Every structure is written in structure tokens, then in C-alpha cells.
Amino acid sequence: MPLPLWSPALLALALIVLPVLGLFARIDPARLPALLTSPAALTALELSVRTALIATVLALLLGGPLAVVLARSRFPGLRLVRGCVLLPLVLPPVVGGLALLYLLGRTGPLGELLRDWFGLTLPYTTTAVVLAQTFVAMPFLVVSLEGALRAAGSEYERISATLGAGPWLTFRRVTLPMLLPPLGSGLVLTFARALGEFGATITFAGSLRGTTRTLPLAIYTEAQADVDAAVAMSLLLVAIALLVILVARPKAVEGRV
């Protein structure tokens, strides 16, 4: 390893790790168990995990096919479509929340139809939390799967076609097995991103305890009144995210999903 790389590498690591360690320095360890088991923390944690899991499943059901289409299709405007799919990665989350609100809100084009036809109102509900999390997290899965398919190439799929297999059989027997290792990695990143979503959620779903106040929103709310409680919840969120990445991501990268 070239020696000149060590200094910037260590600085980069310090920039990431030291702020997190600063949270430990701020909290009183004696109060930590009580703060982490408070009703507000447990309610927010349960809601966060539940909605993040649902958002991850939605991302899989919708983003998986989208990734295959982007990787294997050729049609006019493909680059524009890919750019739109990746837009949530670069947009401020609050912009995504506003977009969802003005589309699915009571006066939005789709929101008005849902209200008039089905009596459904999405903003400031748990469903709104799931939609916001899916909006910001699904591109992580799409990027992972599309990149894996492009790197693998289409040679095996062409061979399958020459042997008489139809598109659906080729997808099930050839394409899908190639997607399993990157699928695990993409799902981990998607879940972690959904779990930490804040901006789009508070804009589109609000912060109603037990209904839309996920752990990131609870941290923001508690920071106004009890800094120690906010720090304790922050450490909890850091621990969960780190656990998910350390336990699941290496297995996915190595193909042991």
C-alpha cells in the first residue's frame, strides 16, 4: 500500500468515526438503559423497523423488475429514465417529501382521486411513512441490481435463448440466480436507508407519535426538550445500522445470502 495514501485515509476515517464517538462522550452511561427503554423510544423503534421492512419489500417487488428492464432493455429515452430513477439519490429528501405531498395530498392529482373514489387519505399516515421510505431507498436496490447485471453481461442469457428457453424461463433459470448475491447487498442498503429516512417522512407524513414518528423523527423531537434522550436514540439508530451492515452486507458480497 503506498504510504502517501495512509494520511488522507486516516483523516477520512476520523471524519466518519469521531462524530459518532462524540455521541458516547455526551451521554451519561447510567441513564442510557432507562432512556433506551422509554415508551417514546420503543414506540419509535418498532414503527421504524416495521415501516423500513415494508419499504424494503416494496422496493424489491417494484425496483427488482425495474433494474432488470434498465439493464437489459434498449429503447429511446433509456438514459433519461435511468436518470429519473436515480433522482432520489441526489435530491434533498425534503424535496421528495414535497413531491409526494403535492402528488398524493388531498389536493394533489392522485390524492384527490384516491379520496373521491376510495375514501383514502395518505398524508400523515403510516402508509405515507412507507411511501416516503420507499421513494428515497429504492434507488439503492435498483443501482445494485442493474450494475450487477451489466457487469455479468448477457452471454448466458443468449446461450439459454439459443437452447430454446423462452424469456420467462431464461429469467428464472439464468438471470435470477445471477442477481442473488447483489440482491442481498442491495436489500441491506435499502433497509438501512429506509430506517434512517427523515426529510421526506416529516414533510409527507408528519411526526405523530405511534403513527408516523419514526426513530429519526423522535430524535429530532426529543432534541428540542431532552438532549440526553435524543443522543440515546441516536446511538440506538447507529447501533442498528452498524449491526445490519456488519452482519448482512459481508455475506451478501461474498454470495452467502
Confidence of residue 157 (pLDDT cuts 50, 70, 90): low
Compute CA distances 34 → 43, 113, 214, 231, 233, whole Å: 14, 46, 19, 13, 11
How far is residue 21's CA from residue 95's CA, in Å, rounded to a whole number? Answer: 31
| pLDDT above 80 for 155 | no
Arithmetic mean of pLDDT, 82-110 = 91
Enter the pTM of the model: 0.85
Instruction: Supply 7's cell numbers.
Output: 494520511
Inform me whether the pLDDT recorded for 256 exceeds 70.
no
Please state, in angstroms and rounded to a whole number, the distance separating the CA atoms of residues 222 and 215. 10
* Average pLDDT of every residue of the chain: 86
Q: Within 13 Å of residue 42, how many CA atoms lie on the same side as its CB?
A: 6
What is the arithmetic mean of pLDDT over 101-128?
90
| pLDDT on residue 163 | 65
Residue 115: CB partners within 8 Å, gap ≥ 6? 106, 121
Q: Provide the pLDDT for residue 11.
A: 94
The answer to whether residues 197 and 216 touch, using CB atoms and an 8 Å cutoff, is: yes
Cβ partners under 8 Å of residue 105, min gap 6: 111, 122, 123
Question: Does the pLDDT of residue 251 top 90, yes or no?
Answer: no
Main-chain phi, psi angles of 18, to 5 degrees:
-60, -40
Q: Which of 52-61, 69-78, 212-221 has the lowest mean pLDDT?
A: 69-78
Distance of alpha carbon 248 from alpha carbon 186, whole angstroms: 10
Condensed to tens digits (0 to 9), the pLDDT of residues 228-238 reads: 889 999 998 98
Contact by Cβ (8 Å): 94, 200: yes
pLDDT at 174 > cutoff 90? no
Find the mean pLDDT for residues 126-137: 95
**H helix runs in 37-125, sequence order:** 39-72, 78-90, 93-104, 109-118
